[in-house]
Structure 1
Amino acid sequence: MHGVNSSQASAPLLCAEGLYKHLHQPSLAFWRGRQSRTILRDINLSIRPGERIGLAGVSGAGKTTLLNLLLALKGADAGTITCQGQPVRPASVRALRWYRRLVQYIPQDPAASLDPRMSVRDLIREPLVRLNVADNHARRIDEALDRVGLDRKFSSARPGALSGGQAQRVAIARAVALRPRLLLADEPLSGLDLPVRARVMQLFDDMSRLDGTAFLIISHDLSVMPRLCERTLILHDGAIIEDRSTAALFDAPAHDHTRALVRAAHLDHAAMTPASATVLHPVS
């Protein structure tokens, strides 16, 4: 493991500048032709090594579309994305191999991303093989399982034998095993009970502080941001309406929409955190 020196920290790892994405739909009236709706408008985002950034917004705000652009699954209609100075756009598997090693994704629904025919060990090994990672794969797999608090006895299990929380940890281990520079995590705490949430939050903190791994954590629930993110972006109607430190955003939200989200987050947090849940125990 390694930290981040000051020169590395000052240089952005990933930059998105002036991103626009339009949805083109055929009109029911044939004489009107195709209709266009703007999904993302003028998105500017910079992520530095070791940063933990939250991206929050209600359903339909554009979070999934932005995630697809950052993963190079779709192309922007305008604007650019660069990673370590290199352009990022949809391309062949081989052409994007360098980017997949640097940037990994933790899906919201692990059940949909884990092949039910493969064992946990093979699921974690698969991206190491596909991305030509030249290292001891067995050691990386064991290390990844340890880091997410999943007993190695699960390495021979298949996804159907796992609980929702265990499947989520396998999905996280699959990404962590590659030792990426940036993790894009879509609702990474959903489906996890309180002790496992604590374990995952500690893992993310260790990776950012000790390894210099950056995080972009996507959620519709603003209440997770103070525990995970130093900086939070609010996406509303396809535009970033706030980009501030998480503490400042919660203390004095500048936008009416953000104020509503903060009020809801405080209510949700109070409802989901009983007094008995303040003591968290490690996961065996």
Structure 2
Amino acid sequence: MHLLMVVMALILAWYLRYYWSSPMGSWTERFPRALLLFLLPPLLLLTTTFAVFCMGPHGHIMVWGWEGWVSYGLAISFLGFAGVLWLKLAWEGNRILEQIRTYPIVYVYGTPARLLNAPLVYCALIGFWEPELIISQGLLDTLDVPHLKAVLAHEDGHRHYRDTCLFFFLGWLRQLTSWLPHTESLWQELLLLREIRADYWATRQVDNLLLAEALLLVVNTPILLEVNFCAAFAQHIPTNHVTQRIDALLQQPDSIAQPKIWSWVWLILVLVPLLVIPFHH
């Protein structure tokens, strides 16, 4: 029975990811759809393996004598790998943050930031729940005041939505289930929608054309950090992503906010394996 639960969770997770083909709908529809298809399969695998782990290798409904130990071993292996991966990513993130916090603090139009004394054009939020804003001397020298304020407003959008914390978690799930279909496609879709959402937040404070111009001025800057807990304004963005961001800025969509509560109903499915635990003997 336990092995059947694991196999069924694997089949369902594979099917849900395989269902993704390409972005569909408006900007407001794309975000919850992509997020749901990205989240549901790994969370289902995690809750299923956790349920099997809690129930142990023994039970009255076993088809074969060895079945309980096989499913139990798979559950321990998957949960163990997930835990080690989480600790590894968190440790790497803390090391990078410790290095960034050695940079001097400057105030850019009232916004505190860590100054990177380098000629490259770079601006990003780096960290977890309370990230650090890092800004390069090259960016300060390249952009004029209105465009620089537009970039700062964009990064303020990332801070408002806690994107560094959210994408650290999503990046962990990405590495944990990289073997599932369309993981990378969904990840790129979420990265794009994250930036469009921050762009939309910035347009509440600055002109959307200024933000589009700033994007074109700093696009495809050299990679400084390629980590899950980094939200950079423009860092080796694919050409189609630049085009879509500019199109979204010109269209000024009504809202690219968090998914509505009803769109999370499907996540209840991940709790089903946990409901089996009280009935196990």
User: TM-score normalised by the shorter chain: which range applies?
Assistant: under 0.3
Structure with a larger share of its residues in strand:
1
Larger radius of gyration: 2
Structure with a larger share of its residues in helix:
2
TM-score (norm 1): 0.26
